[in-house]
Amino acid sequence: MRGVVLAGGSGTRLHPLTRITNKHLLPIYDRPMISYAIEALVMAGITEIMLVTGGTHAGEFLRLLGNGHDYGIDRLSYAYQDRPGGIAEALGLAERFADDEPVLVMLGDNIVEQTFRSTVESFTAQGSGARIILTEEEDPVHLRHLGVPEFDEARRVIRILEKPEEPPSHYAVTGIYCYSPDVFRIIGTLVPSGRGELEITDVNNWYVDQGSMEYDVLQGFWGDAGESIDAYYAVNDFVRQNGANKG
């Protein structure tokens, strides 16, 4: 399995901090945010990674990460997204890198307390389709800003709603997804949303409709450090006190 870390976007929710740098290069406790996503993939056993970024600060990732060997990466590649076209479009840039292998995709502003290596192992055994990581979220106000799964009586996901006014469950979709190689074909069939982007929720719902979507519930803390200024500092506080990417 190969890893794709998405580190693009304009970072408007973290203005004015992101007027001078990419949000994924902002510090979380004692090191740049992006290093936590890289570490998470390596701990999960993924050492061939592509970083997808964009904007005017893209070169700073190369200065920070280099060839990736200092971070435990065997092969680190880079791709540039020249316009904000959505998460699914950014993932599409990794098609040649994936080379018909399954991929684990992680948003670079996601921070987790515990490793998700078991999800990688489960998806390898699954063999096809998709597998996403969920997190429990009891706050309905927060759920209205996230992707939320709806379950049937057998606890299978029957659809994923993006920013629902009435959340159908107390779970949220994190920015960590496993896909079989056919994900790139699916991306090629997507129609841009109302905001002109290719949405990862549409990709996930394609797999849901095919009956090939599985999920795991993440243990421990999950935070989206790019969600807001308050969320950014809350993630900082948690990592300072508790650490991240524990085995």
Q: Is the pLDDT of residue 15 over 80?
A: yes
Q: What is the pLDDT of residue 235?
A: 98
Q: Is the pLDDT of residue 64 over 90?
A: yes
pLDDT digits (tens, 9 = 90+) for 227-242: 999 999 999 999 999 9
pLDDT digits (tens, 9 = 90+) for 179-229: 999 999 999 999 999 888 999 999 999 999 999 999 999 999 999 999 999
- Residue 176 near residue 110 (C-beta atoms within 8 A): yes
Task: Tell me the average pLDDT across 141-149.
Answer: 97
- Average pLDDT of every residue of the chain: 96
Q: Is the pLDDT of residue 11 over 90?
A: no
Q: Is the pLDDT of residue 10 over 80?
A: no
Q: What is the pLDDT of residue 197?
A: 92
**Taking the model in full, what pTM does it have?**
0.96
Task: Tell me the average pLDDT across 75-79.
Answer: 98
Q: What is the pLDDT of residue 9?
A: 81
Query: DSSP letters of 72-138?
Result: T-SEEEEEEE-S---HHHHHHTTHHHHTT--EEEEETTEEESB--HHHHHHHHHH-SSEEEEEEE--
Q: What is the pLDDT of residue 152?
A: 97
Q: Is the pLDDT of residue 53 over 80?
A: yes
Ordered structural domains, the chain, with CATH: 2-242 (3.90.550.10)
Residues of the chain above pLDDT 70, percent? 100
